[in-house]
């Protein structure tokens, strides 16, 4: 039985490798940053996102390469979008999940700006930074979303939510492993009923609602995080402390790492610019 399973795994790996080669040939010659971006691991993510359909993966990847050539996410620098991070509405956590994934903490109730374009640049910057800080052998990140202070009047516009999902799904496929929505208020249901239709099936399965009084949802979260690392805002024992000045120093250091990775002089950069899916899950009665 073990031999049979092993042979099946080997056959699947061989199939995936052949698909990567097929996609590589379909794309044709690449140069510069596009060549650097399109590693075998990258091609696998696009194939995975499109159920190993080469034509669909090729179309998706080409759209991303076009987006990256104009948006230039690897060139965004912290000093361009630092104002977006002043309240700590989105930042990279100082801990990983049980699988070594980078963790991004989102606190939508702490929104502090009005420009959706700048908010999206801030999001893209932090996604790129999360990827930059992934340990070797790990390619995905986890999101923890804290709804403290959230209300319909202070929530992000639907356009912003849709653009966030578009960027994540279409230009960073298979980068999100899990997203925990922790203790959203009942009123969030109205917002979720609209937003969920922007999610594809794969992303939908990765979104989990967690309520402190719901044992099953808490256990799902515990399977991903050690409570000693998890902040109290998410049911853990750690203290969540965001220091904008210290985080800025960290990001500036990472900007240099990113410049080295992509092969350009940072000084020349411009300055100034397995569980069930998340169907609507209302909070259980106490």
* pLDDT at position 283: 45
Q: Which domain holds residue 59?
A: 2-71
User: What percent of the chain is modeled with pLDDT above 70?
Assistant: 88
Domain boundary among 40, 71, 102: 71
Q: Are residues 22 and 159 in the same domain?
A: no
Q: Are residues 184 and 88 in the same domain?
A: yes
Residue 266 lies in a domain: no
Residue 268 lies in a domain: no
* pLDDT at position 230: 95
Q: Please tell me the least confidently modeled range out of 4-8, 142-146, 162-166, 269-273.
A: 269-273
Residue 192 lies in a domain: yes
Q: Are residues 207 and 117 in the same domain?
A: yes
Q: Are residues 134 and 244 in the same domain?
A: yes
The mean of the pLDDT values for the chain is 89
Q: Are residues 45 and 113 in the same domain?
A: no
Residue 176 lies in a domain: yes
Domain boundary among 43, 71, 99: 71
Rounded to 5 degrees, what are φ and ψ at 151?
Answer: -150, 165
Q: Are residues 135 and 240 in the same domain?
A: yes
Q: Are residues 222 and 137 in the same domain?
A: yes
Counted domains in the chain? 2
CA atoms within 13 A on the CB side of 116: 10
Q: Are residues 87 and 191 in the same domain?
A: yes
CATH of the domain at 152: 3.40.525.10
* pLDDT at position 225: 97
> pTM for this structure?
0.89
Q: Are residues 142 and 23 in the same domain?
A: no
Q: Are residues 237 and 155 in the same domain?
A: yes
Q: Is the pLDDT of residue 234 over 50?
A: yes
pLDDT band at 7 (very low <50, low <70, confident <90, very high): confident
Comparing C-alpha atoms, which of 100, 113, 128 is closest to residue 262? 128
Average pLDDT of the residues in 139-152: 89
Q: Please tell me the least confidently modeled range out of 1-15, 126-140, 162-176.
A: 1-15
Find out whether 244 and 234 touch, Cβ atoms under 8 Å: no
User: In sequence order, which residues have a C-beta less than 8 Å from that of residue 42 and are 6 or more positions away?
Assistant: none
* pLDDT at position 154: 63
Q: Is the pLDDT of residue 264 over 90?
A: no
Q: Are residues 180 and 226 in the same domain?
A: yes
* pLDDT at position 253: 96
Residue 226 lies in a domain: yes
* pLDDT at position 149: 82
Comparing C-alpha atoms, which of 218, 212, 160, 155 is closest to residue 188? 155
Q: Is the pLDDT of residue 2 over 80?
A: no
Residue 183 lies in a domain: yes
pLDDT digits (tens, 9 = 90+) for 21-74: 999 999 999 999 999 999 999 999 999 999 999 999 999 999 999 999 999 999
CATH of the domain at 59: 1.10.8
* pLDDT at position 155: 66
Find out whether 116 and 138 touch, Cβ atoms under 8 Å: no
Residue 110 lies in a domain: yes
pLDDT band at 14 (very low <50, low <70, confident <90, very high): confident
Average pLDDT of the residues in 76-93: 97
Q: Is the pLDDT of residue 285 over 50?
A: no
Residue 270 lies in a domain: no
* pLDDT at position 272: 39
pLDDT digits (tens, 9 = 90+) for 212-223: 999 999 999 999
Q: Is the pLDDT of residue 268 over 80?
A: no
Q: Are residues 195 and 84 in the same domain?
A: yes
Domain boundary among 71, 87, 103: 71
């Amino acid at each position: 039985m073990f031999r049979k399973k092993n042979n099946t795994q080997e056959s699947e790996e061989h199939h995936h490798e052949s698909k990567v080669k097929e996609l590589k040939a379909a794309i044709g010659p690449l140069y510069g940053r596009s060549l650097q971006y399109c590693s075998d691991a990258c091609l696998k993510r696009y194939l995975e996102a499109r159920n190993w359909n080469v034509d669909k993966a090729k179309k998706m990847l080409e759209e991303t390469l076009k987006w990256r050539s104009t948006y230039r996410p690897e060139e965004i620098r912290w000093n361009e979008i630092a104002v977006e991070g002043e309240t700590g509405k989105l930042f990279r956590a100082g801990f990983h999940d049980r699988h070594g994934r980078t963790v991004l903490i989102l606190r939508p109730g702490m929104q502090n700006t009005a420009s959706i374009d700048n908010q999206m640049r801030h999001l893209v910057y932090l996604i790129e930074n999360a990827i930059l800080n992934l340990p070797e052998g790990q390619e995905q990140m986890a999101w923890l979303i804290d709804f403290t202070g959230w209300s319909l009047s202070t929530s992000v516009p639907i356009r912003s939510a849709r653009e966030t999902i578009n960027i994540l799904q279409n230009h960073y496929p298979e980068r999100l492993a899990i997203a925990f929505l922790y203790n959203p208020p009942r009123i969030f249901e109205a917002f979720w009923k609209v937003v969920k239709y922007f999610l594809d099936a794969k992303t939908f399965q990765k979104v989990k609602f967690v309520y402190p009084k719901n044992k099953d949802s808490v256990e799902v979260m515990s399977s991903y995080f050690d409570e000693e690392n998890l902040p109290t805002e998410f049911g853990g024992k750690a203290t969540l402390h965001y220091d904008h000045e210290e985080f800025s120093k960290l990001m500036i250091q990472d900007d240099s790492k990113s410049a080295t990775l992509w092969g350009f002089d940072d000084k020349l950069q411009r300055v100034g610019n397995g569980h069930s899916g998340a169907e609507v899950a209302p909070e259980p009665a106490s």
